[in-house]
Amino acid sequence: MTIVVTGVGAVTALGGTARTTFERIALGERGLRELSLFDPGEVRSKVVAEVVDLAMPSDPSVSRTSELALLAAREAIADAKLDVRSRRVGLVLGGTTAGMFETESILATLLSTEARRGGPADPRREAALSRMLSHPLSAPTDRLVKELGPFARARSLSSACSSGANALAVAATWLELGVVDAVLCGAADSLCRVIVSGFSALGALDPNGARPFDARRRGLTLGEGAGMLVLERSADAARESVVCTLLGWGARSEAHHITNPEATGAAPLAAMAAALERAGLAPSDIDYVNAHGTGTPLNDPMEARALARLFSDDVGRVPVSSQKGMIGHTLAAAGAIEAVITALAIERGIVPPTAGLEEVDPECAHLRHVTSAESRPIGAAISSSFGFGGMDAALVFGHRERVAPVSRKRRGIVVTGMSVVTPGGIVEGTSVADVPASLAQGAAVVIPDGALDAEKARRLDRTSRIGAIACGRALGPVAPGVGVVLGVAFGAVDATAEFMRRLRDKGPRMVRPAEFPSLVPSSPAGYVSIYLGLDGPALVVADLAVSGECAVLQACELIAAGDVDRMCAGAVEERSAIVEEVLSVVFASGGATSRREGGAVVALAAADAGVPALARLGDIVSFANGSSDGVMAGLPPPPEEGGIVVLGTEHAEELVLASSWSTCPRIVCAGACGEHEAAGSVAIAVAAAKVARGDAKAALFVGSSRGWGYAGTVWPPDPAP
């Protein structure tokens, strides 16, 4: 099966559409200017690639990021002539900042009214709190669903600066697995104070503007924007809308350091090799590389080394360029915008140039740099993206005539381990089945001495610590190639508030550089991969109260599509005074909510990977935007006896009643694990443990929130052949 790109959209500092952006890039224009969106204070560079003429709607709950995403999405949909309502269309949106720009002013209000916390209701404070729901990673996706949907399924993900590339990879697996007929996919990020001061504190900004591969380069230039694409199976696509083909994709983790790339470029090389293998191509088939090329001192030589190893003697033939000196580093959006640029380069037979490159760094001199656009046919091209935490991804695009090799067979999924972290204790293996019988003690998880290696874990924030414990215990000994997907609904809200407090009180020179990476939503997956040495794909997904179910489904998709053999997947949530206050205002629950913290992880493997199985997972069904009609009918019925239903919270009861499992005994986990957004992952771990231990013959897990939901079944493992 061949996947084709049938529509593109982009908003960048160089233009409001994909094709304007491409044409100005081809002319070598640079969209860099002094930051005007806000006053960043004393930072290393005020030069940014800002979208200056963005008209924001008057609705204060709308984020800048979501507006950028929406504009690019509308363009891509129109370009593809896609009717979202008449077909099964999916949405995958990557991000890092989401509503951060708006959150900054909300947090400023919260900090200035802090004295009144817990006192009589303060209208200013309550108004600010109620707008906090524009903050989570899932909020821009929610807006696109509302404005453009309904979609058959929707996903919010982050792998830092490779989010855009991973959004396309996830979209491609959906088409391969046949769960949708078309996907709108991409990523968006807007500039904000946290990002500008954070990158400044890391010493990563070049005051002269980014100069990728140049000997004098001193760092990157931050940008903002969005890139969106429509992908379809070639058999379903109108021939005249095909821009190019998406032939391969690959993701790997460096498991090395939260901010510094591993110098040999082994993981980027592995990601590119995996993408080529999937595409059925050899390096000699590649006619262009759209590099990550940030312009930081460490990235560019690392990338040049990875390309030298990939192409070996042929490296001098392949044109390489990066547009980050023109449209800036748009973080999550970069991988998606660069996918758009690569697609248009192939369609038009134009190799886009690198801007800002005058004196080539000797360490990058073996690459064939392109400093002004070249007309030449491109049969196939690679676009690479590398993210904080060492989350690396590569995409291979081909000319519209180039088809992909035969599709991989869809693989079954087994559970090989599980672990639950609750305020009552940390439980692993089939003993997880006993968790619902206990009662949560206190609100906070107690991490016992020795549960983590103190030196290795010193940079991990609380969410990452809980995640590292849960993943480590669910997995057992780590094998090569294992990946991780963590569901994180809110992320590090309190740490962001603390960072903002220092920024406000002491200025951008005094923010803590080592704490900045934790504010990026993908960090828990990055830190877990570094701590445990997991070198497979690493992602964070977010879906508010069903983030755990979302993470397990995401991991299953990657395994089923053949991208990875083993994953650990689940959700983690830390206590947050701000989130608890937000929830009490939004749900008018008054006073402190009963929200606690914790999480759970299941270790998953392909049924044919030869890992001893504790249980087998049936297909997980899902819905977005309220359209749950008929979804539960897609589940297999329970066995005649011995079937149970396991829920994180009681919210999903209605869906259970609509299923053939309605008369099975029900277990609710929230009382034992605490009420929080990761409770659904506890339910999945408990369901698997109950079946694995023989307490039940099969189990159904269901989670739902705000019209989104997931349901799946667990069965005893197939007898060994």
Partner 1 sequence: MPSPALTSEIKALLVSELNLSGRDPATIADDAPLFGEGGLGLDSLDALQIAMLVEERFAVRVPEGDEARPIFRSVSTLAEFIERSKSS
Nearer to partner 1, 78 or 514 (CB): 514
Q: At closest approach, how far in Å is the CB of 308 from partner 1?
A: 24
Contact criterion met (CB below 8 Å) for 354 and 369: yes
Nearer to partner 1, 409 or 458 (CB): 458
Collapsing DSSP to helix, strand or coil, 263 comes out as: coil
Nearer to partner 1, 422 or 496 (CB): 496
Which pair of tokens denotes residue 275?
A: 């993408």
Cα–Cα distance, 325 to 263 (Å, whole number): 22
Nearer to partner 1, 2 or 529 (CB): 529
Nearer to partner 1, 55 or 454 (CB): 454
Non-local (6+) Cβ contacts of 451 within 8 A are 426, 469
329 included as an active-site residue: yes
Q: At closest approach, how far in Å is the CB of 268 from partner 1?
A: 20
Q: At closest approach, how far in Å is the CB of 259 from partner 1?
A: 6
Question: DSSP of 646-666, one letter per residue?
Answer: EESSGGGHHHHHTSTTTTS-E
Which pair of tokens denotes residue 175?
A: 């088409």
Cα–Cα distance, 20 to 326 (Å, whole number): 13
Cα–Cα distance, 525 to 539 (Å, whole number): 6
- Which residue in the list 135, 185, 256, 292 is annotated as catalytic? 292
Q: At closest approach, how far in Å is the CB of 257 from partner 1?
A: 7
Nearer to partner 1, 504 or 509 (CB): 509
Supply φ then ψ for residue 597, to 5 degrees: -145, 165
292 included as an active-site residue: yes
Q: At closest approach, how far in Å is the CB of 224 from partner 1?
A: 24
Non-local (6+) Cβ contacts of 43 within 8 A are 196, 197, 200, 205, 508
- Which residue in the list 135, 161, 364, 669 is annotated as catalytic? 161
- Burial of residue 56 (CB within 10 Å: 0-12, 13-18, 19+) is exposed
Q: At closest approach, how far in Å is the CB of 355 from partner 1?
A: 25
Collapsing DSSP to helix, strand or coil, 496 comes out as: helix
What count of Cα atoms within 13 Å lies in the side-chain half-sphere of residue 316? 3
Nearer to partner 1, 295 or 570 (CB): 295
Nearer to partner 1, 201 or 279 (CB): 201
Collapsing DSSP to helix, strand or coil, 437 comes out as: helix
Binding site for partner 1 (CB under 8 A): 201-203, 257-260, 454-455, 458-459, 506, 509-514
Nearer to partner 1, 510 or 633 (CB): 510
Q: At closest approach, how far in Å is the CB of 201 from partner 1?
A: 7
Cα–Cα distance, 176 to 171 (Å, whole number): 9
257 included as an active-site residue: no
- Strands 182-189 and 225-233, sheet pairing: antiparallel
- Which residue in the list 135, 256, 329, 676 is annotated as catalytic? 329
Cα–Cα distance, 669 to 650 (Å, whole number): 9
- Strands 153-158 and 708-715, sheet pairing: unpaired
Cα–Cα distance, 269 to 252 (Å, whole number): 9
Contact criterion met (CB below 8 Å) for 549 and 678: no
Q: At closest approach, how far in Å is the CB of 248 from partner 1?
A: 33
Nearer to partner 1, 4 or 391 (CB): 391
Q: At closest approach, how far in Å is the CB of 442 from partner 1?
A: 22
Q: At closest approach, how far in Å is the CB of 458 from partner 1?
A: 4
Cα–Cα distance, 527 to 456 (Å, whole number): 10
- Strands 368-369 and 319-321, sheet pairing: parallel
Residue with tokens 């997904």: 541
Q: At closest approach, how far in Å is the CB of 574 from partner 1?
A: 16
Nearer to partner 1, 7 or 524 (CB): 524
Cα–Cα distance, 271 to 253 (Å, whole number): 9
For the chain, state the CA radius of gyration.
24
CA–CA distance from 627 to each of 14, 29, 576, 661, 703 (Å)? Answer: 38, 45, 31, 20, 14
Buried b (16+ CB within 10 A) or exposed e, 550-589: bbbbbbbbbbbbbbbbbbbbbbbbbbbebbbbbbbbeeee
Q: Catalytic residue positions?
A: 161, 292, 329
